[in-house]
Amino acid sequence: MALIVGLGNPGAEYDGSRHNIGFEVVDSLAEKLSISFDPDNGLYHRGEGRFKGQSVVLIKPTTYMNRSGKAITKALAETDSRKSDCLVCYDDINLDVGQIRLRPGGSAGGHNGISDIIEKLQTNSFPRLRVGIGNDFPRGRQADYVLQKFTAEERETITKVIDLASDAILTFIRGGIDTAMNEFN
């Protein structure tokens, strides 16, 4: 079973923000797979479906970005999934707008949501899909930047990247992280 997690913040005020790109990618994937999300169960919205004969569970934590680890820990337990089958999709200021990178594990790279996941899972060995949001912000203004919406020009690029990222996830589901990395990195 593939467990696909998109990180973001719940609430309409965060819709379309750079920090919610993980939610947007998972929403795109849900549309491609005709999966709908169940209401919040206290820690996340969940949708289930199938792709190429494999069960797929989509998760959007409602715990806010910096506390994503608790939701993922619960989702792993409830689905009896392995950490290696759990792909986490999130924003990354270390990549230019429009870039994506898949990795089988690694550090948090300064991302508080990933830091919380690493702490709660007690490992940094879980697949992830980083979506570049750029880093065009003044020193000390990172929090404001990630909570802002994309510019109109960036949104054009991001719309294409969301589709590309959801295709990368389908490749991950079908062939694993190495196959997805070889095709999309």
Q: Could you report how far apart the first and last alpha carbons of the chain are, in Å? A: 23
Q: Could you tell me what percentage of the chain is helix, strand and coil, using 3-state DSSP and rounding each to the nearest 5?
A: 45, 20, 35
Q: Is 19 an annotated catalytic residue? A: yes
Q: Which helix (H) or strand (E) holds 164?
A: helix 152-175
3-state secondary structure of 135: coil
Q: Of 122, 11, 24, 26, whose CA–CA distance to 76 is shortest?
A: 122
Sign of CA dihedral 144, 68, 150, 132: positive
Q: Which of 5, 6, 19, 47 is catalytic?
A: 19
How crowded is residue 57: how many other Cβ atoms within 10 Å of its Cβ?
20
**CA nearest neighbour of 62 among 121, 131, 14, 118:** 14
Is residue 56 within 8 Å of residue 50, measured between CB atoms?
yes
DSSP lists the bridge partners of residue 3 as 57, 86
Q: Residues with catalytic annotation?
A: 19
